[in-house]
């Protein structure tokens, strides 16, 4: 049975050496790009953990006299694995942190950051008929954030991302002319809609209740109907 994109990416993240004999990759270029990215990260982590470190030798301590008893100096030796494991863990955590949070870049506006964010996950914008699972949707959009039902459209991608210092649900639904990105922004309260413009994109940030929603598609995509569907599908959590 051929895996879908969600199953394949979960497997490759759990084990970068995972191989399904090309069954899925033969028909999915976006997952091939994702595999290359994961393998590159895995090699970087491997190099960090494979650094040869010499034995750590502590300096000799001077003799100390106490109650007429001489305590001889002791040369303390600490094997590298005892302390290097800690250093390697820090390196590993730092690498994962960079991957999860991204670079600390300041943007002129929320709109600018959202437009720039689209370039970070190009594999999300693929044309497909495979919906994500209910379990995946609930994990990315937990009940305390929002309830988001499938009447918004065919949801083919869901990932937690960082926007303006907040972890937000990043969803993709299939539009008439291609994939449409939907970002749920419960911490961004706006007074009015903000247009999103960029090369070949058409989008808007809509105020919805105490938060907002960003919706971005290709320039040819008519977003009016999609906006209505997305807004009616959303209920903010408490």
pLDDT surpassing 80 at residue 127: yes
Return the domain boundaries, the chain. Answer: 5-50, 56-93, 110-236
Of 89-98, 186-195, 227-236, minimum mean pLDDT range: 89-98
Residue-level pLDDT at 83: 46
Of the pLDDT bands very low, low, confident and very high (cuts 50, 70, 90), residue 232 is very high
Q: Inform me whether the pLDDT recorded for 221 exceeds 80.
A: yes
**Region 81-108: what's the mean pLDDT?**
51
CB neighbour burial string for 184-215, b if at least 16 within 10 angstroms, e if fewer: bbbebeeeeebebebeeebbbbbbbeebbbbb
| Distance in Å from the first CA to the final CA of the chain | 40
For residue 82, the model assigns a pLDDT of 45
Short-list 81, 84, 62, 65, CA closest to 73: 62
- pLDDT top residue among 23 and 80: 23
pLDDT tens figures, 105-119: 678 889 889 988 887
Which one has a higher pLDDT value, 52 or 195?
195
Distance CA(134)–CA(201), nearest Å, equals 29
**CA torsion, ordered 164, 39, 90, 88, to nearest 10 deg:** -170
81 pLDDT above the threshold of 60:
no
């Amino acid at each position: 049975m051929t895996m879908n994109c969600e199953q394949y990416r979960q497997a490759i993240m759990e084990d970068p050496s995972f191989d399904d004999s090309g069954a899925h990759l033969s028909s999915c270029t976006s997952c091939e790009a994702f595999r290359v990215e994961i393998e590159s990260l895995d090699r970087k982590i491997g190099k960090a953990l494979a650094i040869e470190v010499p034995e750590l030798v502590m300096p000799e301590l001077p003799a100390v006299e106490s109650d007429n008893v001489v305590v001889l100096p002791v040369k303390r030796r600490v094997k590298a694995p005892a302390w290097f494991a800690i250093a390697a863990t820090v390196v590993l955590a730092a690498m994962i942190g960079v991957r999860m949070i991204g670079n600390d870049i300041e943007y002129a506006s929320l709109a600018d950051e959202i437009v720039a964010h689209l370039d970070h996950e190009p594999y999300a914008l693929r044309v497909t008929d495979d919906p994500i699972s209910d379990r995946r949707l609930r994990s990315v959009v937990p009940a305390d954030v929002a309830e988001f039902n499938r009447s918004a459209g065919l949801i083919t991608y869901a990932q937690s991302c960082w926007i303006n210092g907040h972890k937000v649900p990043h969803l993709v639904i299939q539009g008439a002319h291609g994939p449409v990105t939907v970002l749920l922004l419960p911490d961004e309260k706006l007074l009015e809609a903000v247009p999103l413009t960029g090369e070949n994109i058409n989008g808007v940030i809509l105020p919805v209740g105490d938060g907002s929603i960003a919706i971005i598609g290709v320039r040819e995509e008519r977003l009016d109907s999609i906006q209505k569907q997305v807004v009616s599908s959303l209920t903010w959590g408490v």
